[in-house]
Amino acid sequence: MKSGSALHQYSGAVYRAYAEAVTRSGLAAEVRSRASPELQRVLASPPNPITWLDSSLLVELLEIVVKLRGAEAGRRLVFDATRTSIGRMIEPVLKTTLSIFGSSPASLMSRLSTLTMLTDRGSHYRYQPRGDNSGELCVELTVAMPKTFWEAWLGVIDFGLDLCGTTGQGRLASQAADGKSAIYLVEWAPRAKSR
């Protein structure tokens, strides 16, 4: 049985972003050869950006990439899709948020539930600071997800750190036994300015 359901969905824009990222990664042919007919259709002809599709297709895509190239490849794919497409789609909202609340990863993480309203349904985010440059991000979904999903989701954190001009890392600290939530520990520092 596939993970996901109509209770957890991503916008067509998200699927378009992933289709483009898979092509840029050079894995498109390998992914398509292992994909279900439905995922093959989505990759070949991405949906209208304002439609909503079940999250199980994204899970399938990530699981294929991870099987082909490992967990780091899944994380890079998520980062690339977020940076080049999804991030651009909500860039005005992101920039406004950072200008009002400060250019800190904490500013983004504490507002993720609002910031992602255009890209996903069935997700809730809670951020708890652990210091000036660290915190705990809890991601809760309406459906269970496999560990490959949670590990690849670190690419979203990588994007947020990069967007804020910081260096740092996210780490998957725990995943709930039911697969519906995960906790990430995130640490960062200002990026050194080049001379």
Please give the model's pTM, rounded to 2 decimal places: 0.89
Range 103-124 average pLDDT: 89
Q: Is the pLDDT of residue 3 over 60?
A: no
pLDDT at position 98 is 74
146-149, long-range: CB < 8 A, 24+ apart = 146/3, 146/59, 146/63, 146/179, 147/175, 148/59, 148/62, 148/63, 148/66, 148/71, 148/74, 149/3, 149/58, 149/59, 149/62
pLDDT at position 52 is 95
What confidence category does residue 114 fall into, taking pLDDT thresholds of 50, 70 and 90? Answer: confident
Q: Is the pLDDT of residue 1 over 50?
A: no
